[in-house]
Structure 1
Amino acid sequence: MSGGATRLALGVDLGSSGLRVALVDPAGGLHHQAGCAYPGPFVQPRTWQQGLTQLCGAIPLPLRRRVAGLAVAGTSGTLVAVDTNGHPLGEALPYNAAQPQWASRCRQLAEPGHPAASASGTMARALELQQRYPHAHGLRHQAEWLTGWLLDQWHWGDMHNSLKLGWDPVQGGWSGVIGSQPWSRLLPRVVRPGTALGPLHPTVAHQLGLPTAAQVVAGTTDSNAAVLAVDPQPGDGVTVLGTTMALKQLCPEPLQDAGVYSHPVGNQWLVGGASNSGGGVLRQFFDSATIAALSRQLDPRYPTGLHYLPLPAPGERFPVDDPRLMPRLEPRPVSDALFLQGLLEGIAAVEARGWARLQVLGAPPVRRVLTVGGGARNPVWRQLRQQALGCPVLNRPHASTACGAAQLARRGLAAVNCDATT
């Protein structure tokens, strides 16, 4: 990198339907953004690195040479078992793969009310993976595994991804008796998101076409990165409308209840939860072009009265934590437009119940909602949600999760530079 060139931070978003990358400068200006589908099944970790290699290769060379740091955001709760060299022992268990058979054991391990005490949390998937792979050397979340590949060392984890696995950010350790279990050696060494972990491994740097001096920064979850991208202010709620739906807001104190998460961000807490409802339900019935065409036929002034509970399969995480909750998608009207409106109304109702749940637990009232993700591109859905929530809803379709991960990498670089000058 030439002495006068502005250093850039690279953000990587491992979403449920594909990957995205974004490059930002020290002032937060966006220089490049691109995405692609996974080259293989989402649950195969090798497709995560293959997709990143593809996207980095498409970044113009002058920009690639200016990358000084990078951070990865991944789907919250997607977990993979690895051997001593970090190689996956099998497919990852995805974020929405509840393991109700481990519910009672999770409650024995974690403190009551901790996210790890739920069968929908990552601890239940960890117990399942331990049973499947008794000789596993480690358990890593999606973002942590790819971060390990970038470094060629897999012992790091971050506070945000590790929360559902049992990390207690208030106490600074593992909840309940998790840390004293014989298999606790499988758990990562947890650091704060934004912590600089070291430079890219030379072999990986060559494969990606990035400088070997680029710093790898501890990442976060996809929904938290989306929140970082919009920089919420007091009174703001942030809804991430992707394949699933996540609700987040800043709170002075952490909240604790089943399906509710509290992540430390600076001197505040990012509290919220993630529902299985979202765009994935819509795509079970319509493709993106059909959704856009049908949406133009909808009239939000006239509710359908269908009262759907749009879940892609049995099981919900938030605003109720019930791995056996059944979807409600009938009766289906003859009109596809009315059916779509009923689905959109149902997802908006889930969102309204989610914000109400957080307020009951002690979160500040939400005065407006900022929306990111694919659903932020649909203006009719915004109107339906605004009616359901009773407050202004603003779409931020260009605030991507990859941009939020890049902002995290930028902060990590700033901290490294500050340490170097003191």
Structure 2
Amino acid sequence: MMFEGEAEAWLGIDLGTQSVRALLVTADGTVLGSGTAPLTGRRDGVRHEQDPGEWWAAVCTASRAAMSSLRGRGSIGGLAVCGTSGTVLLTDAQGRPLTPGLMYDDGRAVEEAARVGMQTSWALPKALWLLDAHGWREGRGQVARVAHQPDVITAQLTGGVVIPTDSSHALKTGYEAEREAWPPQLAHLGEVLPEVVRPGTRLGEVCPAAAEATGIPAGTPVVAGMTDGCAAQIASGALRSGAWNSVLGTTLVLKGASARPVRDEAGVVYNHRAPDGSWLPGGASSVGAGALPTVADPAELAELDGRAAAYEPSGALTYPLASPGERFPFLAPDATAFTLGTPASEADSWAAVLQGVAFTERLCLDYLRSLGAPIDGPLTFTGGAARSAYWNQLRTDILGRPARVPEQIEPALGMAVLAAYGAGPGGRALSEVADGMVRIRTLLEPRASHTARFAEPYARLVDELETRGWLPTPLATHTRTRLNQDTIDS
């Protein structure tokens, strides 16, 4: 029951790599409360694991902090949980973890990845590796079930034994989103694979024991979530066909909305199924802010941005991979970062990286256009780099298209929106719910004179990537044709 002056709020929980974040948000986007708790992991070479018990402890801490501010201000209508895409573990028949969580970047499943034709970052190779390592294939081990990071939390919240996973997290475990079924080639795994439902499906309610641990009222609906990348997309409001969210942090991820899947024979673009049955295509590049020197002081970052403005374009051309190998807009495992020319100063070097990321971002959009993806809707900037006003404007200029930056750029907000969609009044599209809860902070317009000055270095980067054998010639030709047409039109 709500009293006058109270508001119904929705809880989003984000299981990140370094922390858990909980955000309590009303239907008009007002943040009533938030909480965070750190996570630690074990890294050793290609190994990267986390303790599932630590996930639950952090959720309890973060949720109690977020819920503490709700007293007397409203009630909670539901919650949803997102996790890191590709993180997987095994549980027993009661849903209790049997193994550590193998994180998205755990690189041990090399043979399994080759066998199923996937990258090691995907969940299926790691799940097969775990099943082999724990003797499931020979029948020596316990009954095991494959689970994703949020499944552990939703099971704890509902007090259920084994509850369904969502199709978003299941995608990288081999689930076929178009057929909405596990593929025939995984039939031998039988009940080891979980039941799958669409995001936004009601899974159950918070049980009394979980309510005591988390501060979330018993009976609160628990809704199936999505991956952290999809959660960030929902938080950006990029949910109508043709809209895209460009998430720039350590690396660059583009995620959009489409009425149909975007077909890509190269396999660098994949498609999540939206709660309403439409599609969320996207791809992840290895360029990003991770290629910049580490600068902790915000004032120093702003000062470097200001000095970089004197170098438009930079005297050097940089392809700023944050780590070896490229995944989008082309697949080149042997790709490495490079710089052509010598920067005139530290500020010029800084400018070259900022511009190189934006050039790659433009190439990603050109690739999506070449695939026939709808890209004529609004473009939203999120991720840690969206805090840089200068970089936002530079990207807008290089892309030659308007962009916007929301107030909140957290995946936890996306899960609060999804909870409102799944547990709130029926008959509303997810995009309508997001329109009410996502607040836009900044609107950016490209400056034609600045866009023109970056055409030549962008063309040189395309030529260089093609010459090195990384960028396929058809895409390079398409990009040059688009660039020439844009130059004529301007």
Deviations 1:269-290 (A, max 9, x none): 11111223334444x6333534
Following TM superposition, by how much is the alpha carbon of 1:384 offset from its aligned partner in structure 2, in angstroms?
Answer: 2.5
Partner of residue 478, structure 2: none
1:379 corresponds to 2:380: no
Q: 1:412 to 1:368 in 2, by over 3 A?
A: closer
1:198 corresponds to 2:207: no
Comparing both chains, which one has the higher relative contact order based on Cα–Cα distances under 8 Å and sequence gaps of 6 or more? 1
Q: 1:343 to 1:18 in 2, by over 3 A?
A: farther
Secondary structure at 2:324's aligned position in 1? coil
Deviations 1:329-348 (A, max 9, x none): 78885844333322222222
Partner of residue 178, structure 2: 170
Question: Would you say how many aligned residue pairs link Structure 1 and Structure 2?
Answer: 405
Are the counterparts in 2 of residues 300 and 384 from structure 1 also a CA contact under 8 Å?
no
Match 2:288 to one of 273, 278, 281:
278
Secondary structure at 1:56's aligned position in 2? helix
1:355 corresponds to 2:356: no
1:247 corresponds to 2:257: no
Are the counterparts in 1 of residues 315 and 344 from structure 2 also a CA contact under 8 Å?
no
Aligned residue type for 2:155: G
Are the counterparts in 1 of residues 247 and 381 from structure 2 also a CA contact under 8 Å?
yes
- Measure the CA separation in 2 of the matches of 1:18 and 1:189: 28
Aligned pairs for 1:15-26 (under 5 A) are: 15-25=16-26
Partner of residue 150, structure 2: 143
5+ long unaligned stretches in structure 1? 108-116
Following TM superposition, by how much is the alpha carbon of 1:60 offset from its aligned partner in structure 2, in angstroms?
Answer: 5.2
Deviations 1:44-94 (A, max 9, x none): 333322222222222353616722311011222222233344343443222
Partner of residue 9, structure 1: 10
Give the greater-gyration-radius structure (CA): 2
- Measure the CA separation in 1 of the matches of 2:40 and 2:248: 24
Following TM superposition, by how much is the alpha carbon of 1:189 offset from its aligned partner in structure 2, in angstroms?
Answer: 1.1
- Measure the CA separation in 2 of the matches of 1:213 and 1:3: 19
Are the counterparts in 2 of residues 100 and 323 from structure 1 also a CA contact under 8 Å?
no
Shifted more, 195-204 versus 92-101: the winner is 92-101
Shifted more, 320-329 versus 189-198: the winner is 320-329
Are the counterparts in 2 of residues 89 and 133 from structure 1 also a CA contact under 8 Å?
no
Are the counterparts in 1 of residues 83 and 149 from structure 2 also a CA contact under 8 Å?
yes
Partner of residue 398, structure 2: 388
Are the counterparts in 2 of residues 229 and 404 from structure 1 also a CA contact under 8 Å?
yes
- Measure the CA separation in 2 of the matches of 1:276 and 1:37: 28
Q: 1:247 to 1:417 in 2, by over 3 A?
A: closer
Identity %, equivalent residues = 33
Are the counterparts in 2 of residues 377 and 397 from structure 1 also a CA contact under 8 Å?
no
Q: 1:39 to 1:17 in 2, by over 3 A?
A: closer
Partner of residue 420, structure 2: 410
Partner of residue 223, structure 1: 229
Q: 1:9 to 1:326 in 2, by over 3 A?
A: same
Q: 1:302 to 1:31 in 2, by over 3 A?
A: closer
Aligned residue type for 2:182: W
Following TM superposition, by how much is the alpha carbon of 1:245 offset from its aligned partner in structure 2, in angstroms?
Answer: 2.4
Secondary structure at 2:319's aligned position in 1? coil
Match 1:96 to one of 86, 105, 118:
105
- Measure the CA separation in 2 of the matches of 1:310 and 1:44: 33
Following TM superposition, by how much is the alpha carbon of 1:24 offset from its aligned partner in structure 2, in angstroms?
Answer: 2.3
Q: TM-score, normalised by structure 1?
A: 0.85
Are the counterparts in 2 of residues 34 and 55 from structure 1 also a CA contact under 8 Å?
yes
1:36 corresponds to 2:42: no
1:340 corresponds to 2:347: no
Deviations 1:94-148 (A, max 9, x none): 22345443343113xxxxxxxxx44443222222222333347122222233222
Q: TM-score, normalised by structure 2?
A: 0.74
Shifted more, 257-266 versus 311-320: the winner is 311-320
Aligned pairs for 1:364-375 (under 5 A) are: 364-366=374-376, 368-375=378-385
5+ long unaligned stretches in structure 2? 42-48, 136-140, 429-490
Partner of residue 401, structure 1: 411
Secondary structure at 2:157's aligned position in 1? helix
Secondary structure at 2:168's aligned position in 1? helix
- Measure the CA separation in 1 of the matches of 2:132 and 2:68: 45
